[in-house]
Chain A
């Protein structure tokens, strides 16, 4: 029996190598990675309440200095060292207790990069955030004070309200 060889496949192979077969458009792909690290948020801890104490009498206003009073509120901030933060403090205009609210105003804060209240920098609240740099170790302390103004007919009792401090990085 005569050997038979199928030439068509070999011929097609040869032709394609010669470039005579239909060409196929080529495509190539490469991949790379996009990456980022997200740093931790500024951690804010309320360490001490603002306390006017029992020595608050009807008709007599009392001021707690954020720099000089041991009963000023104290917040502790912790974040990325040396980064700039926006600090906003939301405070009530009156405290809630028995009967009508107890008026509170003239809010002031005082800030320092160490827990040294006497050396802090004091200012009145404004509508603009406080913009400060955290210490190299990422820390900052903020003390808050205000003036409570009980009326002459203010009912006796405990009055409370919430002070909120919000801190966010500015990106600087």
Chain B
């Protein structure tokens, strides 16, 4: 079947297998490899994207159910001016090593800061709770989010 999505601002159409999950369609049909395939159960957060502005775990969504949606991936975060302040903070605080979890961490943190510009550490940890990182031990991620909080 034909699937139309706007991916990081670009309107695109691709042929997808109707049995595909959204993360599989993004990666394999559209070549958007920012979101990662991790647990496929919604636990790890590596597949996180924004769909029509809302953060979602794209392994929990059928591709066919996203037809016509506006999808933003991790690759669409940085603009012509370079990294976003949150991305820069992750860089500065050594908040990632392998980077597999970055989609989930960045989108969850960005979403938190939009709703709660001055979060406590407990609120930061709670907001990141749906994301697994096997490299950092999380403290540097919390520090990065804290450093851009107002």
Indicate, yes or no, whether A interacts with B. no
Chain B interface (Cβ < 8 Å from any Cβ of A): none
